A and B are shown apart, each in its own frame.
Chain A
Amino acid sequence: MARQSSFRNFAIGSTLLWISIFVIVPYAFVIVVSFLTRDADTNIRWIFTVENYRELVSPVFLEVCKESLWLAFGTTVLSLLAAYPFAYLLTRIPENVRRFLILLMIIPFWTSSLIRTYSLIILFKANGLVNTVLLALGLTDQPVELLYTQGAVFIGLVYALLPFMIMPLYSALQKMDRRLIEAARDLGARGWQIFFKIVLPITMPGIMAGCTMVFLPALGLFYIPDLVGGARTMLIGNYIKNQYLTTGNWPVGSAASVVLTVFLCLFLYGYYLSSRNAHTKQGVEGGLV
């Protein structure tokens, strides 16, 4: 008994220590820095100010927020549209094919996402693979401008985050009782009616989980818009990165980080509320909270 509880203390203690060192303490620094004054030489000076937050209430930052939300929202919708049919397909195919497809989806994760984003550049550039194929097929006379467009940013973000959408959807669809579809058919529902009246509402917890897991990271993934968007589209993540690394304005960067975190927490709280609602309503498990 004493042994068990000492193991328990060790397990909980080491986790807490880990989170403290790598999450809580650094974040406390960020919050503190966001209230300090900028200094050109030493980055920060220990003088309290709220000027950094006031600076954020500027047309530039609001534009960045709007752009970020739009990109994250678009990425979420595109991911959902792409992932739902695929997740549905996964539940309908034989076990061995399914394992293979899931493996194909996971393999890229063993490569750094930065490298995978660079590979997108190789595909999209003027003399890249996509344009070479298009030219060879005679579908276009001159190379199409793919790289450094908003479309490329969407593709890059969807490509990076799609698995986070697929997995919760797959799990929700897999858990759904197939007989519900038969029951709906038995009662006269057809194709789309079955989808909208039965499948969609029942997999809603999975949809919400997937959207949360795509939307939140999409707000902060700065290097994808940088690389494939040519830094033309700026997300909150890019803004923060620029404040730290380019402008050298740590306090404003920290203030923007805090704002982003508040955003994320609000979204997570919203997700928590809606999923708790769904759980008590349907008795269906699903989701990440």
Chain B
Amino acid sequence: MEKPPIVRLTGVTKRFDEVVAVDSLDLDIYQGEFLTLLGPSGCGKTTVLRLIAGFENLDEGELFMEEVRLNDMPPNKRGVNTVFQSYALFPHMTVFDNIAFGLKMKGYEKSRIASEVREALNIVKLEGLESRKPHQLSGGQQQRVAMARAIVNKPKVLLLDEPLSALDYRLRQEMQIELKRLHRQLGITFVFVTHDQEEAISMSDRIAVMNEGRIEQLGTPTEIYEEPANMFVARFVGEINVFDARVIEAAADSATVDIHGQQFKVQNRRDYKPGQNVSVLLRPEDLLVTRDEEELVSGPALAGTVEEVIYKGKTVDLIIKLDAGETVFVTQFFNEDEDNVLYREGQRIHLEWVYGWEVVL
């Protein structure tokens, strides 16, 4: 992305008493993107959002919005609006008054307020509920009012603080699609905070995975999932199996590693040298299971026994105990052509994977 960022954070640090919540963080956010701050609770993601919103002041660093320094600017002058966790709708006001609040504060005329509120209600598909009070609405409807109350002010950047966490699973799926639609329709920049990695992966253009006040990795969902930059990202985003390995031979782009006495060919993107200890990471769905009774495996493979079979409908999850003692988690998709893909506990199997699907750290 060559264009200048809409929001730029450089060396941003925020401390609460002596605890460093955000630690000299750099982040560029670009016009129109859907950027997610993802991390465990206490990683500083919400603090970053609150710094951009203006609810907290920076201790160090600079914060810019379209090249304008925001450090000491009050929240309402920043061109950002926030959708709060659990919405923070004004309980004593109707839906209309909630949405109109920001426009009234700007001193707009009544007729203009009415038409803009109506437009916002239309965008979030809540026409006809203007005179309800928040407690008369369902969770999903409250969520939409919170969205409308923010977007009616036409912010350049919309900040969303775990907006879906209060909804049940099905409604959350629905609202994820709805949020994506709004993002496309409005064309404004969304900065979204969540601890739910599935939510982050399915919605974002880019994800910043945060831990202890720092960004561990910044990239597209595919990059984050397929090419985790370090063990934290690998373990936080999705399930992953970690094998201890030792580099035997190393070439420019591939290497041979030893895992439990078996030699595997892996990619060598980080210039590992022979003798080095590395970790080979494999997602549960990237491992292939071959039953010993079925056929013999040709290449190197890890022998083990099926310990548990968890039928999931679309997939079947296997917990496998390797002969070397490790426990491995594997997800197998059903092969429609093969109707006897039935695993049972105690079955002897071998594990392998397609070269290139692994990540070596």
The stretch that binds A, out of B100-108, B191-199, B202-210, is B100-108
Q: Tell me which of A185, A202, A284 contacts B55 (CB under 8 A).
A: A185
Cβ contacts under 8 Å, A193 to chain B: 105
User: Taking the complex as formed, is A258 at the interface, i.e. its CB lies under 8 A from any CB of chain B?
Assistant: no
| B135/A198 in contact, CB under 8 A | no
| A202/B82 in contact, CB under 8 A | no
The stretch that binds A, out of B59-67, B87-95, B237-245, B333-341, is B87-95
Cβ contacts under 8 Å, A283 to chain B: 91, 133, 135
The stretch that binds B, out of A20-28, A124-132, A138-146, A176-184, is A176-184
| B82/A183 in contact, CB under 8 A | yes
Q: Closest CB-CB distance, B91 to chain A, in whole Å? A: 5
Per-residue contact bits, chain B 37-74, to A (CB 8 Å; 1 contact, 0 not): 00000000000000001110000000000000000001
Given known contacts A193-B105, A282-B133, is B76 in contact with A188 (CB within 8 Å)?
Answer: yes
User: Taking the complex as formed, is A13 at the interface, i.e. its CB lies under 8 A from any CB of chain B?
Assistant: no
| A202/B101 in contact, CB under 8 A | no
| A183/B92 in contact, CB under 8 A | no
Q: Tell me which of B54, B74, B90 contacts A183 (CB under 8 A).
A: B90
Cβ contacts under 8 Å, A47 to chain B: none
Closest to B81 in A: A186
User: Taking the complex as formed, is B153 at the interface, i.e. its CB lies under 8 A from any CB of chain A?
Assistant: yes
Cβ contacts under 8 Å, B105 to chain A: 187-189, 193
Closest to A187 in B: B102
Cβ contacts under 8 Å, A186 to chain B: 53-55, 75-76, 81-82, 150
| A179/B84 in contact, CB under 8 A | yes
Closest to B78 in A: A186
| A281/B133 in contact, CB under 8 A | yes
Q: Closest CB-CB distance, B43 to chain A, in whole Å? A: 20
| B81/A187 in contact, CB under 8 A | yes
Interface size on B, residues (CB 8 A): 25
| B76/A198 in contact, CB under 8 A | no
Give the contact-size bracket for chain A.
Answer: 20 to 34
Bound-state CA distance A201–B54 (Å) is 25
Closest to B77 in A: A188
User: Taking the complex as formed, is B118 at the interface, i.e. its CB lies under 8 A from any CB of chain A?
Assistant: no
Bound-state CA distance A21–B328 (Å) is 75
Q: Closest CB-CB distance, B55 to chain A, in whole Å? A: 5
Cβ contacts under 8 Å, B101 to chain A: 184, 187, 189, 197
| B84/A282 in contact, CB under 8 A | no
Chain A, interface SS category: helix
Closest to A283 in B: B135
A-B contact count (CB 8 A): 67
Per-residue contact bits, chain B 146-173, to A (CB 8 Å; 1 contact, 0 not): 0001100100000000000000000000
Closest to B74 in A: A185
Q: Closest CB-CB distance, A85 to chain B, in whole Å? A: 21
Per-residue contact bits, chain A 39-76, to B (CB 8 Å; 1 contact, 0 not): 00000000000000000000000000000000000000
Cβ contacts under 8 Å, B74 to chain A: 185
Q: Closest CB-CB distance, A66 to chain B, in whole Å? A: 35
Given known contacts A184-B101, A185-B76, A187-B105, is B92 in contact with A201 (CB within 8 Å)?
Answer: yes
Cβ contacts under 8 Å, A179 to chain B: 84-86, 88
Bound-state CA distance A284–B101 (Å) is 21
Bound-state CA distance A257–B89 (Å) is 47
Bound-state CA distance A184–B88 (Å) is 9
Cβ contacts under 8 Å, A185 to chain B: 54-55, 74-76
Which residues from 105 to 123 on chain B have a C-beta closer than 8 Å to any C-beta of chain A?
A: 105-106
Residue picked from A188, A204, A284, most chain B C-beta under 10 Å: A188
Which residues from 94 to 149 on chain A have a C-beta closer than 8 Å to any C-beta of chain B?
A: none
Cβ contacts under 8 Å, A183 to chain B: 82, 84, 88-90, 149
Bound-state CA distance A180–B88 (Å) is 5
Cβ contacts under 8 Å, A189 to chain B: 76, 101, 105
Given known contacts A186-B53, A189-B105, A193-B105, is B92 in contact with A282 (CB within 8 Å)?
Answer: yes
Q: Closest CB-CB distance, A223 to chain B, in whole Å? A: 40
Closest to B136 in A: A283
| B102/A188 in contact, CB under 8 A | yes
Cβ contacts under 8 Å, B91 to chain A: 202, 282-284
| B102/A281 in contact, CB under 8 A | no
Closest to B82 in A: A186
Cβ contacts under 8 Å, B55 to chain A: 182, 185-186
Cβ contacts under 8 Å, B82 to chain A: 182-183, 186
Closest 4 pairs between A and B when the two form their complex, measured CB to CB = A188-B105, A187-B102, A283-B135, A188-B76
Q: Which positions in B face A, CB cutoff 8 Å?
A: 53-55, 74-76, 81-82, 84-86, 88-92, 101-102, 105-106, 133, 135, 149-150, 153
Can you add 20 more A-B contacts, CB < 8 Å, to A179-B88, A186-B81? A183-B82, A183-B89, A183-B90, A185-B54, A185-B75, A186-B53, A186-B54, A186-B75, A187-B81, A187-B101, A187-B102, A187-B149, A188-B76, A188-B102, A188-B106, A188-B153, A201-B92, A202-B91, A282-B133, A282-B135
9 A-B interface contacts by CB (under 8 A):
A179-B88, A182-B55, A182-B75, A182-B82, A185-B76, A186-B54, A187-B153, A188-B102, A188-B105
